[in-house]
Chain A
Amino acid sequence: MPFIPHTADDIREMLATIGVPDVEALFDEIPQALRSDALASIPPALTEMEVGRLMSERAARDGRPLNFIGAGAYEHHVPAAVWAIVTRGEFYSAYTPYQAEASQGTLQLLYEFQSMMTSLTGMQVSNASLYDGASAVAEACLMAVRANRRSKSARILLPAALNPTYREVLAAIAGNQDLRFETLPYDARGGCTTAASLEKYRGEDITAMVIQQPNFFGTLEEVDALTDFAHTAGMLVIAVVNPTSLALLKPPGEWGVKGVDIVCGEGQPLGIPLSSGGPYFGFMTTRMEHVRQMPGRIVGRTVDLDGKPGYTLTLQAREQHIRRSKATSNICTNQGLLVTAGTIYMALLGAQGLASVAASCMERSAQLVDALTRIPGVRLAFDRPRFHEAVLLLDRPVAPVLEALAARGIVGGYDLATHYPALGPALLTCATETRAPAEIDAYARALGEVLKSAAAA
């Protein structure tokens, strides 16, 4: 069914009414030089059957490798019920509906999502989600500049151990809005950002500091010390967190003496399958005192005239359809369908289930590190506690080793050479609850053979 309600007759009639010869004439104020005709690199249309065949062939070429790569997106078991429920007609929409209050079920689900996220992060209020983790961090930085009214500098401290793709998105989104980012080094032994590295900023006007927990290396940061230092210096604190890890770790709302000001991150670990980088969803929570600076939609619970509970979009006056260019953000919507999956995932697992997923991740990751560091030429880069990822240092360049592993059906991890050349040959590797002990052994055997054969060659 086409979703275009007007017929050719309707169009003719409308054009006749306003005295325009054809639809093309409606665009005549756009100069020819700015118009594109056919899109040269888009191939001709294929039928559904042809697309299906093409995709099956390409998927077969990828095979089903054993995955030990994380680096921001994580393979978790998604109970079959999650997507069976999400794809029911009542939920199957990508968007917050217009006339939102007519869709009480969708609003109730978003309200439940917000309640779960505030509880997981230890904060007071959540929005209905953002595009993804990277854009959520960018929005959090812009929000901090609005919310920290004592600071005039719009300077923000970013750890070098913050996910490098987040830093690139930050530069793209916030870099043109007069924000200035300064990089905090990581400790060469611990792989974490130390409070000592902050000393040089004492007494300066800094708007906010970002802390990622666990950081990109999988290392746990000294979040209490960092948070307290930042607060004492008049900065706001933005926590970037993995939601799965929060089932075990202290929630950012309890970091340090006061807790952080804004929490954000990537929601993909909560029931969203890995899919070439997306679509995923971002989340953001904060304290009530900052709620009017928070971007995105917020669903509230209220009662109707008869006293019956109902759900409604709230605090909309700060949003773009009302405040236009002065809105808290003009690039935010929510990821309705993926948040639906995330909410159902959390509801099915419950607090205990999520904690047991997080514990299994830590256990399997520790087993992986044990098994791999027994191989000659492989050692652990950092000695601080970790969640489910670790940086391993190899005695030779990583890329050829990963290629040899891929030929054996194993995706061994993420090569840090591009973003962290100072580490030398370094491999970021991950095991979640989905990696069975036998699979970890298979990886260790394969890596041992690859390193031995290359050494012999």
Chain B
Amino acid sequence: MSKVPAELRFLKSHEWARLEADGTVTVGISDHAQQALGDLVFVEVPEPGRRVVAGEACAVVESVKAASDVYSPVNGEIVAGNAALGGQPELINQEPYGSGWIMRVRPEDKSQFAAMLDAKAYEAALAAETH
């Protein structure tokens, strides 16, 4: 059973997001997603300064069996990509909700964050997916 921390928000496409004290949103992929992908071998993180819209593919996570896009949950500007993933893509497998974060976005509109799934709704979506 994969972990779904109660304090985070989620997308059905398996991104998680956390609203930080400075108003930015940190984004990563869920524990479920990293389990499904298997051992990650490469992560392409976005360049700071890039403008993105909700649903836009911003990063790529590549495992030995697949390469998947990571979508931004909000409109805004990329403020950081996790440079540590360049040398250690396995951080996503080890700590998907911690050191395996992928990017930070400064949202234009926090209501898009508020509209994301909460942990309970994401768990329900996962349950529906497996049945």
Contact = CB atoms under 8 A, between A and B. Distances in A.
A64 interface: no
A322 B66 CA distance: 6
A292 B66 contact: no
Interface in A124-170: 149-150
Contacts of A150: 47
A292 B60 CA distance: 11
A149 B45 CA distance: 11
A408 interface: no
A322 B47 CA distance: 25
Interface string B19-55: 0000000000000000000000110100100000000
The residue among B66, B67, B69 with the most chain A CB atoms within 10 A of its own CB is B67
Interface in A270-320: 292, 317-318
Chain A contact residues: helix, strand, loop or mixed: helix
Contacts of A326: 67, 69
The residue among A292, A317, A318, A326 with the most chain B CB atoms within 10 A of its own CB is A317
B99 interface: no
A323 B67 contact: yes
Interface in A57-71: none
B47 A292 contact: no
Contacts of B42: 292
Nearest to B57: A326
A199 to B, nearest CB: 27
A317 B62 contact: yes
Contacts, number: 21
B60 to A, nearest CB: 8
A292 B62 contact: yes
Interface string A385-423: 000000000000000000000000000000000000000
A317 B47 contact: no
Nearest to A327: B67
Given A292-B42, A292-B62, A318 B47 contact: no
A318 B41 CA distance: 12
B65 A292 contact: no
B47 A149 contact: yes
A317 B63 contact: yes
B64 interface: yes
B69 to A, nearest CB: 7
A322 B69 contact: no
B84 to A, nearest CB: 18
Nearest to B49: A150
Nearest to A149: B47
Contacts of B63: 317
B127 to A, nearest CB: 27
Contacts of A323: 66-67
B44 A317 contact: no
B44 A322 contact: no
Contacts of B41: 317
A317 B69 CA distance: 12
B53 to A, nearest CB: 15
Contacts of A149: 47
Contacts of A318: 62, 67
Contacts of B66: 317, 322-323
B93 to A, nearest CB: 15
A318 B66 CA distance: 8
A292 B44 contact: yes
A318 B67 CA distance: 6
A318 B44 CA distance: 12
B61 to A, nearest CB: 10
Contacts of B65: 317, 322
* A-B pairs, 6 with minimum CB distance: A317-B67, A317-B62, A323-B67, A149-B47, A317-B66, A318-B67
Given A317-B41, A323-B67, 19 more contacts: A149-B47, A150-B47, A292-B42, A292-B44, A292-B62, A317-B62, A317-B63, A317-B64, A317-B65, A317-B66, A317-B67, A318-B62, A318-B67, A322-B65, A322-B66, A322-B67, A323-B66, A326-B67, A326-B69
16 contacts: A149-B47, A150-B47, A292-B42, A292-B44, A292-B62, A317-B41, A317-B64, A317-B65, A317-B66, A317-B67, A318-B62, A318-B67, A322-B66, A322-B67, A323-B66, A326-B67
